[in-house]
C-alpha cells in the first residue's frame, strides 16, 4: 500500500492524522488557470440540478455494450444531495491538479486555499454570504454518497465514496475566514490524474445560471468535442442522463428555453424531429459551422495560465 493510500485508509478508519498527513497538502497554483472538468463527472447524473434541497435518490442505469453502468446518489434528507453549483469546487480542484501535473509539480488530494482565491477561481463574488454558501457546498459534497461501478473493470460491486472526505472552514475571533481545507475522494483524484479522463471547459460555464443549462453544457462538451458533424440525443435520452426529478414534458420545456437562449459556450443547439417523430437535440461546435451561419464563431486558442502580478 502506498503512503497516500495508507493515509487515506487511516482517514476512513477515523484514526488521528499523523504530522505527515497534515503536511501532505496540495500547494495551490495562483493566477488565472485553464479550467478543466473530469469526464465521468460530466457525463453521468451525479448532481442535483436544482438549488432546492433534493432528498430523492438519483438512481441511474444505462447499457454500454455488454456492461450496465450504474450510478446511485443519496444524502441525508436534512442536508440533501450535492448540487451542480457545489460541483464548482470540484472543477476548481480538478483544474488545479491538472495544471500541477502538466507542470510536473507534486499533487495531493488535500487542499488548503484562501477563501478569496477559491471564490475567484470559480468566478464568484468575494463578499456577502459567499463564505456561508461555500461551507454549505462543502457540507453537501461531504454528505453525498455515490455508489457506482464506473471504472470498476470486471468487479461486480459498485464503489461507494463521498466527493469530499473531510473539510474545515475555520474563522478568526471576528468571524473572518482563515481559509478552506478539504480532501477530495480517491475516485475523483485518480480520475483527474488520468489524462484521458479530463477535458478543458470554457470558463464562462461559471456564468450559466440554470441547473439544466449548466448540466447541458457539460454533456455537450463531453460528447460534442470537436466533431465536424456534431452530436445528437433524443429528449428522452437527455432526460434520463440528467437524473432530473421533473416530468419529461417539463424538462423538455426548460431545455427548449435553453436552446432559444443559445448561451451554451462554444456550441450551437438545434431541435428537430427524427424519423420516429421523437424530439432530438443536435449540437455542433460553433467553429465547425459555415462562416455565414448566425452561430459561427472562429476557434479560440487555448488560454494559457497567467501568473498574478
**165-219: per-residue pLDDT in tens?**
999 999 999 888 899 999 999 999 999 998 789 999 999 999 999 999 999 999 9
The answer to whether residue 301 is domain-embedded is no
Share of the chain above pLDDT 90, in %: 76
Which tens digits make up the pLDDT trace of 20-51? 444 489 989 988 899 999 999 999 999 999 99
Tell whether 127 and 276 lie within a shared domain: no
Tell whether 154 and 133 lie within a shared domain: yes
The helix (run of H) or strand (run of E) holding residue 285 is strand 279-285
Tell whether 170 and 232 lie within a shared domain: no
The answer to whether residue 298 is domain-embedded is no
The answer to whether residue 295 is domain-embedded is no
Q: Is the model's pLDDT at 153 over the cut of 80?
A: no
State how far the Cα of 268 lies from the Cα of 149, in Å rounded to an integer.
Answer: 33
State how far the Cα of 297 lies from the Cα of 69, in Å rounded to an integer.
Answer: 36
Which tens digits make up the pLDDT trace of 244-300? 999 999 999 999 999 999 999 999 999 999 999 999 999 999 999 999 999 999 987
User: DSSP letter at 194?
Assistant: S
Q: Looking at residue 156, what is its pLDDT?
A: 62
Q: Looking at residue 3, what is its pLDDT?
A: 41
Q: How many of the other CB atoms lie within 10 Å of CB of 251?
A: 19
Tell whether 283 and 260 lie within a shared domain: yes
Domain C-terminal end among 167, 182, 200: 200
The SS3 of residue 157 is coil
Domain C-terminal end among 168, 200, 232: 200
Backbone angles phi, psi at 275, to 5 degrees: -60, -25
- Nearest residue to 243 via CA among 223, 267, 218, 277: 218
* pTM, rounded to two decimals: 0.88
Structural domain boundaries, residue 43: 3-200
Question: How does residue 159 score in pLDDT terms, banded at 50, 70 and 90?
Answer: confident
- Nearest residue to 148 via CA among 16, 40, 48, 36: 40
Domain count, the chain: 2
Question: How does residue 12 score in pLDDT terms, banded at 50, 70 and 90?
Answer: very low
**pLDDT averaged over every residue in the chain:** 88
The answer to whether residue 196 is domain-embedded is yes
Tell whether 90 and 185 lie within a shared domain: yes
The answer to whether residue 307 is domain-embedded is no
Tell whether 253 and 185 lie within a shared domain: no
Amino acid at each position: 500500500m502506498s503512503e497516500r493510500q495508507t493515509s487515506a485508509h487511516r482517514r476512513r478508519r477515523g484514526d488521528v492524522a499523523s504530522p505527515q498527513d497534515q503536511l501532505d497538502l496540495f500547494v495551490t497554483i495562483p493566477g488565472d488557470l485553464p479550467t478543466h472538468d473530469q469526464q465521468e463527472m460530466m457525463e453521468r447524473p451525479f448532481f442535483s440540478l436544482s438549488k432546492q434541497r433534493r432528498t430523492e435518490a438519483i438512481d441511474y442505469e444505462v447499457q454500454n455494450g455488454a456492461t450496465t453502468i450504474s450510478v446511485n446518489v443519496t444524502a441525508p434528507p436534512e442536508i440533501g444531495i450535492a448540487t451542480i453549483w457545489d460541483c464548482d469546487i470540484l472543477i476548481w480542484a480538478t483544474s488545479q491538479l491538472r495544471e500541477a501535473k502538466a507542470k510536473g509539480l507534486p499533487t495531493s488530494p488535500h487542499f488548503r486555499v484562501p477563501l478569496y482565491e477559491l471564490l475567484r477561481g470559480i468566478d464568484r463574488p468575494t463578499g456577502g454570504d459567499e463564505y456561508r454558501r461555500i461551507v454549505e457546498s462543502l457540507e453537501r459534497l461531504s454528505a453525498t454518497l455515490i455508489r457506482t461501478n464506473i471504472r470498476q473493470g470486471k468487479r461486480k460491486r459498485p464503489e461507494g465514496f463521498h466527493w469530499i472526505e473531510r473539510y474545515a472552514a475555520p474563522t478568526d475571533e471576528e468571524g473572518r475566514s482563515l481559509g478552506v481545507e478539504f480532501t477530495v475522494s480517491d475516485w475523483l483524484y485518480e480520475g483527474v490524474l488520468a489524462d484521458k479522463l479530463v477535458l478543458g471547459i470554457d470558463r464562462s460555464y461559471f456564468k450559466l445560471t440554470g441547473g439544466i443549462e449548466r448540466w447541458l453544457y457539460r454533456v455537450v462538451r463531453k460528447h460534442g468535442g470537436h466533431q465536424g458533424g456534431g452530436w445528437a440525443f433524443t429528449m428522452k435520452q437527455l432526460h434520463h442522463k440528467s437524473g432530473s426529478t421533473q416530468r419529461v414534458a417539463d424538462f423538455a420545456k426548460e431545455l427548449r428555453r435553453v436552446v432559444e437562449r443559445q448561451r451554451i459556450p462554444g456550441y450551437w443547439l438545434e431541435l428537430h424531429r427524427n424519423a420516429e417523430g421523437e424530439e432530438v437535440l443536435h449540437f455542433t461546435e460553433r467553429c465547425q459551422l459555415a462562416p455565414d451561419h448566425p452561430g459561427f464563431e472562429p476557434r479560440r486558442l487555448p488560454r494559457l495560465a497567467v501568473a498574478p502580478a
